[in-house]
């Protein structure tokens, strides 16, 4: 039903400088896989086929990653290293990739509008690859959201309760509860000033959007930070029709911050990278980390 997934990936990634000075934030590896590959896997597992990537200057490695590298592949052919490329080969075979450049970084709303040429006139998903979402043993977050879309047929944003001191970093929603895990949004504020937060429910980097959002973004004036904010366009959509906030199942790591990135790396190493038959190594690492945490800094 939802076949296209848009990846706005043109941002500067300033919170992660100097690593992101010449390397796209989306290409930073969590264990041995770049962030964007986790996002693409999540989209494929939710039934999507077209990955539409909004890039910017200095982001060409994103394109190279989702392409063949004949020289390297020939070099490791017949060795045990070949298995390290199995996942990315499957991705390249099962999805198509299109790219468009955002010439000026005018904000997330503007990046999504830039992707209109690739998405066309149909509902689509949006993944911010620096928000890494993992639901061990269950459906991925996008998959959960696609199932909701089948029922509600309107835009859906993934939300998460965040500590009070972090609320100002996010787009924050308020709404009427329609199920334990669902709210019908009636207010949204981008990066609210202290005291102006409508709740502690923050929008994270997973969206399903209906295509009328493009016209709403077009008529959205620059907001917080002088950027065209998707939150402002979504508020208009919520006021005219319906936007749902979904408290998703799973873990989410803000890999745009150093702390979130470290947490994601440890979590993925333990839960995704190490195989079940490496239980002993898992145990050792758990002990190692708990002893490090106990040492005074
Ligand atoms: P962020 O604000 O998290 O990303 O934008 P950033 O600007 O790259 O990071 P910092 O804050 O400077 O560290 C959320 C998402 O929107 C994309 C980013 O690439 C990121 O995936 N984005 C943001 C764009 O594609 N274009 C923009 O103009 C702004």
Question: Among the listed ranges 71-85, 101-115, 264-278, which one has the minimum average pLDDT value?
Answer: 264-278
Spell out a b/e string for 161-186, using b for 16 or more CB atoms within 10 Å of the CB, else e: ebeeeebbebbbbebeeeeeebbbbe
User: Which of 158, 256, 260 has most ligand 1 atoms within 8 Å of CB, for mutation?
Assistant: 256
| Two tokens, residue 206 | 């997973």
Could you give all domains of the chain from N- to C-terminal order, each with its CATH number?
A: 4-290 (3.90.550.10)
Give the model confidence (pLDDT) of 163-210 as tens digits: 999 999 999 999 999 999 999 999 999 999 988 899 999 999 999 999
CB atoms within 10 A of CB 119: 24
46 lines ligand 1 (CB under 6 A): no
Per the prediction, the chain carries an average pLDDT of 93
224 lines ligand 1 (CB under 6 A): no
Q: Is the pLDDT of residue 291 over 90?
A: no
Please state, for a pLDDT cut of 90, what percent of the chain lies above it: 86
Secondary structure (3-state) at 110: helix
Question: Among the listed ranges 23-32, 54-63, 280-289, which one has the minimum average pLDDT value?
Answer: 280-289
Question: Among the listed ranges 79-83, 216-220, 226-230, 271-275, which one has the minimum average pLDDT value?
Answer: 271-275
11 lines ligand 1 (CB under 6 A): yes
CA of 179 relative to ligand 1 center, distance in Å: 31
Give the model confidence (pLDDT) of 222-237 as tens digits: 999 999 999 999 999 9
CA of 106 relative to ligand 1 center, distance in Å: 10
- Number of residues that make up the chain: 297
Instruction: Determine the straight-line distance between the first and last CA of the chain, rounded to whole angstroms.
Output: 51
User: pTM (2 decimals)?
Assistant: 0.93
């Amino acid at each position: 039903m939802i076949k296209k997934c848009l990846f706005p990936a043109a941002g500067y990634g300033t919170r992660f400088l100097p690593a992101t000075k010449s390397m796209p934030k989306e290409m930073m590896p969590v264990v041995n896989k770049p962030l964007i590959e986790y996002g693409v896997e999540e989209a494929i597992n939710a039934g999507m086929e077209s990955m539409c990537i909004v890039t910017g200057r200095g982001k060409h490695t994103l394109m190279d990653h989702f392409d063949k590298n004949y020289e390297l592949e020939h070099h490791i052919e017949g060795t045990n290293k070949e298995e390290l490329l199995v996942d990315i080969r499957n991705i390249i075979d099962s999805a198509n990739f299109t790219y468009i450049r955002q010439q000026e970084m005018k904000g997330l709303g503007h990046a999504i509008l830039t992707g209109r040429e690739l998405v066309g006139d149909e509902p689509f998903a949006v993944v911010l690859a620096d928000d890494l979402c993992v639901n061990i043993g269950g459906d991925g977050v996008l998959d959960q959201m696609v199932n909701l879309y089948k029922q509600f047929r309107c835009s859906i944003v993934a939300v998460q309760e965040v500590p009070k001191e972090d609320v100002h970093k996010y787009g924050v929603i308020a709404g009427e509860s329609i199920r334990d895990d669902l709210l019908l949004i009636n207010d949204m504020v981008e990066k609210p000033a202290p005291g102006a937060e409508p709740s502690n429910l923050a929008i994270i980097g997973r969206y399903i959007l209906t295509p009328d959002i493009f016209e709403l973004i077009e008529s959205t004036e620059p907001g917080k930070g002088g950027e065209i904010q998707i939150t402002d366009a979504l508020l208009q959509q919520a006021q005219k029709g319906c936007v749902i906030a979904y408290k998703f199942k799973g873990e989410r790591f803000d890999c745009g911050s150093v702390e979130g990135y470290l947490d994601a790396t440890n979590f993925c190493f333990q839960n995704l990278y190490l195989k079940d038959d490496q239980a002993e190594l898992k145990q050792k690492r758990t002990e190692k980390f708990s002893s490090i945490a106990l040492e005074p800094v």
